[in-house]
Amino acid sequence: MPGWKRPEDNKLLGKRHTRLDGPIKVTGKAKYAYDINLPGLLYGRIFRSQIAHGRIKSIDASGAEKMPGVKAVIVNAKVGDVMRYQGQEIGGLAAVSSDVAEDAIRAIKITYEALPHVVHEVEAARPGSPKALETDPNVQQMEKTGKGDLDAGFKQAAATAEGVYSCAVRAHACLETHGVTCNWDDDKHLTCWASTQHVGGVHGDLVNHFKLPKENILVVTDVMGGGFGSKFGMGYEGRMCAELARKAMKPVKLLLTREEEHLGVGNAPSAIGKVKIGATADGTICAFEAHVYRSGGVGQENGPMPYIYKVPVFSVVQEAVKMNTGPSRAWRAPNHPQSSWIMEAAVEDLAVKLGMDPLEFRLKNDPNPIRRQEWKEGAKLIGWERRNAKPGVGTLAGTGRYKRGIGCGAATWGGGGVPGAECRVTVKPDAAVSATCGVQDLGTGSRTLVGLIVAEELGLPRKAVTVSIGHSDMPPGIFSGGSVTSPSIAPPVKRAAEAAKAAIVEVVATKWGIQPDDVDMADGKAFQKSDVNRSLSFTEACALLPAAGISVLGKWDAKLQQNSGVAGCQFAEVEVDTLTGRVQPIKVVSIQDGGVILNKLTYESQLNGGIIQGIGMALYEDRHMCQVTGRMVNANLEDYKLPGAMEMPEFVPVAFEYPEATGVAGSAEPAVIPTAAAIRNAVLNATGAYLYEAPMTPWRVLTALKSAKGGTQV
């Protein structure tokens, strides 16, 4: 079976293509789960624990049940159940409007026997602090690894750097909150419009929960408003909505409120890394020691450490810290940005100590041949030679209030696909071409990719292919997590398109009485290779098909994806206001390979998005917990600060293409990994101030400036 053509041989693939669903999204016609309106629709809400830790003493939902306009109330939690974080689900209700549902939530009276809580990582790790979970200690070792003799390793060091580098818990903050709209035709047939990253996952969960035949439940995700790793299964909200809808026998829409979105459906764990790293005089890392704490609230996740660079001798201990906050969930490149923050900061500080150019230092210790090219390319694009030779000292930094500097960081990701997805391509005698695959489009552009691949194979303009995605009764898609979507769906789509092409070629060859391998298709035509003057238009060729047309199914082929790893790096230029401590990113270069790139326009958008979310991690995003009440202080979008228009730098997104690429690789995750560290290192280069904590708020920057030698005194 053929592989991907080289970029220069493609008509469509690898070029810049706007999205097929762009027009419906920009005109408000796209219907998200939140937008489904049905006759008699009810509005669902979940009621949740208002305290961080405590035993339920009583639940009185009668106030809600009696309220006019309330059509169903379901209580799941029982008296005596222990609530382990603010926002843990207790029950749900459905009412005739969202306002009435809100009234009903307020009418539910729940009392608790408060238990001592702990909502801060450092507090939780302190001996004698309250236990977040009754069953487990707050600190649990997840990993203990090492290689070589650490003492001997550090003995070779000409310089060492040490620090405690930490970054905060961040919210996914999906703009379309988690949730679904459910409609039961009867008590055995359910349609569920879901805001999800995995149509098949939601479908499977609902089938299992309601114990119904697969074909009785239809899950629909035509479009969805952001997930970033937090929206895989039906979730409590999906299950509750379906149950409320069945109880009321009316359609119910249950999308979380903004506050619930912050509390109950995931976050990116924080990380605190105590690190020591050493290098020999020529700039080779010789030893590395890290003790890392990661807090996923009542959940837990581990991450890679050491990260990216070749470390011959190391010792790593990683521990999970439990606390009374909502469980973490996968967050775009789970735990890599945190590891990058810790590792890249330590590497930068070591390079400074050695008096070595940090880029030269990285090139010396980075084993990845592709990234080594990217480092050099990126350095040109940012103008690395402009950087201050010493932190805080140079032309770029200047001597005034505003100081500029440049920093960098690296990314890595697997990038491969997984088996399971299928795609059906049909061609009718009237030349109508359609491609169908149950995959969802998170905004990454997967719908558009499906159409592009089919159009490329059949030699058609891209809009000639009707694409249908996102329904559970279609050929199975794949989950959109770990950047697997493109490498998982591109192979079956291509194989289906090839089979469709072969079928058309066959009927044309038969008509002409020649061998099929003498027929090809391009530019909207089928033609004879040995006599290019002999051709049929695509429409004429399709007219030769049997009356029913053709319908072919394409399956996974590992050869069309690439799991050799994605490499990337980023360079950031920032300006630090030394009077206020505000950091403004000026320009960010993100350069990253992605195997065979299918759509450069949407690929670049992924790189931009990664940078912006990385800026959030670097400068703004921080979940604040009140230690006294155990509640989240900023469960909203005004105090939980997302990067906005005014914070945007100049963007230089670069798709790094190389001739050895043979398969499609995912690109979304690595794009977010190194931005925060690159900005941190740029702040150091600008001011000489060492920042250890993300986000680098003005207060933290001013504190670091104060302690930096040569920094502005405040």
Partner 1 sequence: MSDEHKDSVTKPLPEVSRRGFIKGVGTGVAATATLMTGVPESGAEAAVQTQVMPATGKRLKGVVRVKLSVNSEDRSADVEPRTTLLNTLRDHLDLTGAKKICDRGSCGGCTVMVDGRNVYSCMMLAVDAQGKKITTVEGLGTPERMHPVQAAFVEHDALMCGFCTPGFVVTCATLLQHNPNPTFDEVKRACAGNLCRCGTYPRVFEAALAAAKSMKGGA
Block residue for tokens 């974080």: 85
Q: Under rule CB under 8 A, which residues in 405-464 are in contact with partner 1?
A: 442-445
610 touches partner 1 by CB under 8 A: yes
- Cα 349 vs. chain centroid, distance in angstroms? 29
Which residue from 397, 352, 348, 419 is spatially nearest to 680, judged by alpha carbons? 348
Sole binder of partner 1 in the list 6, 29, 386, 529 (CB under 8 A): 29
| Binding segment (CB under 8 A) for partner 1, from list 93-101, 376-384, 545-553, 572-580 | 93-101
Take residue 43 and report the two structure tokens written for it: 């509005």
175 touches partner 1 by CB under 8 A: yes
Least distance (Å) between residue 582 CB and partner 1: 15
Who's near 676: CB < 8 A, 6+ residues apart? 167, 337, 340, 341, 409, 614, 615, 617, 618, 694
DSSP class per residue in 95-122: ESSHHHHHHHHHH-EEEEEE-----SHH
Task: State which residue, 191 or 318, has the beta carbon closest to partner 1.
Answer: 191
Q: Under rule CB under 8 A, which residues in 46-75 are in contact with partner 1?
A: 50-52, 54
Least distance (Å) between residue 86 CB and partner 1: 10
Task: State which residue, 335 or 675, has the beta carbon closest to partner 1.
Answer: 675
Sole binder of partner 1 in the list 5, 15, 31, 376 (CB under 8 A): 31
Neighbours of 152 (CB within 10 A): 11
Q: Under rule CB under 8 A, which residues in 468-527 are in contact with partner 1?
A: none
Beta bridge partners of residue 424, listed in sequence order: 436, 553
Task: State which residue, 98 or 373, has the beta carbon closest to partner 1.
Answer: 98
- Residue 451 CA to residue 463 CA, distance in Å, equals 8
Least distance (Å) between residue 489 CB and partner 1: 18
CB-based burial, 659-669: b 16+ in 10 Å, e otherwise:
eebebbbbbbb
230 phi/psi in degrees, rounded to 5: -105, 0
Farthest-apart Cα atoms in the chain, separation: 87
Q: Under rule CB under 8 A, which residues in 258-317 are in contact with partner 1?
A: 258
- Residue 43 CA to residue 686 CA, distance in Å, equals 52
SS3 of 413, please? strand
Beta bridge partners of residue 499, listed in sequence order: none
Task: State which residue, 1 or 645, has the beta carbon closest to partner 1.
Answer: 645
SS3 of 234, please? coil
Task: State which residue, 456 or 604, has the beta carbon closest to partner 1.
Answer: 604
102 touches partner 1 by CB under 8 A: yes
Least distance (Å) between residue 23 CB and partner 1: 4
| Binding segment (CB under 8 A) for partner 1, from list 106-114, 185-193, 234-242, 512-520 | 106-114
Please check whether residue 451 is in contact with residue 464, taking contact to mean a CB–CB distance below 8 angstroms: no
- Residue 122 CA to residue 327 CA, distance in Å, equals 17
Sole binder of partner 1 in the list 223, 241, 507, 632 (CB under 8 A): 223
Sole binder of partner 1 in the list 139, 642, 657, 698 (CB under 8 A): 642
Least distance (Å) between residue 119 CB and partner 1: 12
Which residue from 401, 332, 391, 384 is spatially nearest to 584, judged by alpha carbons? 401
Q: Is the peptide bond before 306 cis (omega within 30 degrees of 0)?
A: yes
Binding mask 236-265 toward partner 1 (x if CB under 8 A, else -) reads: -------------------x-xx-------
Spatial strand order in the sheet of 402-413: 402-413, 566-577, 583-593, 650-656
Task: State which residue, 19 or 424, has the beta carbon closest to partner 1.
Answer: 19
Task: State which residue, 370 or 607, has the beta carbon closest to partner 1.
Answer: 607
Least distance (Å) between residue 321 CB and partner 1: 20
Take residue 97 and report the two structure tokens written for it: 């409007």
Task: State which residue, 68 or 367, has the beta carbon closest to partner 1.
Answer: 68
Please check whether residue 13 is in contact with residue 174, taking contact to mean a CB–CB distance below 8 angstroms: no
Task: State which residue, 256 or 497, has the beta carbon closest to partner 1.
Answer: 256
Q: Please report, for residues 45, 145, 447, the alpha-carbon distance to residue 142 in angstroms, rounded to integers and kept in the order given.
A: 36, 10, 39
637 touches partner 1 by CB under 8 A: yes
Task: State which residue, 285 or 671, has the beta carbon closest to partner 1.
Answer: 671
Sole binder of partner 1 in the list 156, 468, 564, 636 (CB under 8 A): 636
| Binding segment (CB under 8 A) for partner 1, from list 160-168, 201-209, 480-488, 597-605 | 597-605
Classify residue 130 by its DSSP letter.
P
63 phi/psi in degrees, rounded to 5: -60, -40
The C-alpha angle 187, 252, 72, rounded to 5 degrees, equals: 80
Task: State which residue, 547 or 628, has the beta carbon closest to partner 1.
Answer: 628
| Binding segment (CB under 8 A) for partner 1, from list 113-121, 144-152, 185-193, 369-377 | 113-121
572 touches partner 1 by CB under 8 A: no
Least distance (Å) between residue 622 CB and partner 1: 16
112 touches partner 1 by CB under 8 A: yes
Number of residues this chain uses to bind partner 1 (CB under 8 A): 75
Least distance (Å) between residue 645 CB and partner 1: 4
- Residue 180 CA to residue 247 CA, distance in Å, equals 16
609 touches partner 1 by CB under 8 A: yes
Take residue 555 and report the two structure tokens written for it: 């399956």
196 touches partner 1 by CB under 8 A: no
Task: State which residue, 94 or 496, has the beta carbon closest to partner 1.
Answer: 94
CB-based burial, 256-281: b 16+ in 10 Å, e otherwise:
bbeebbbbbbbbbbbbbbbbbbbbee
- Residue 370 CA to residue 413 CA, distance in Å, equals 13
Least distance (Å) between residue 428 CB and partner 1: 23
Sole binder of partner 1 in the list 14, 44, 225, 491 (CB under 8 A): 225
Take residue 36 and report the two structure tokens written for it: 């489904």
Least distance (Å) between residue 527 CB and partner 1: 32
Sole binder of partner 1 in the list 186, 628, 699, 713 (CB under 8 A): 628
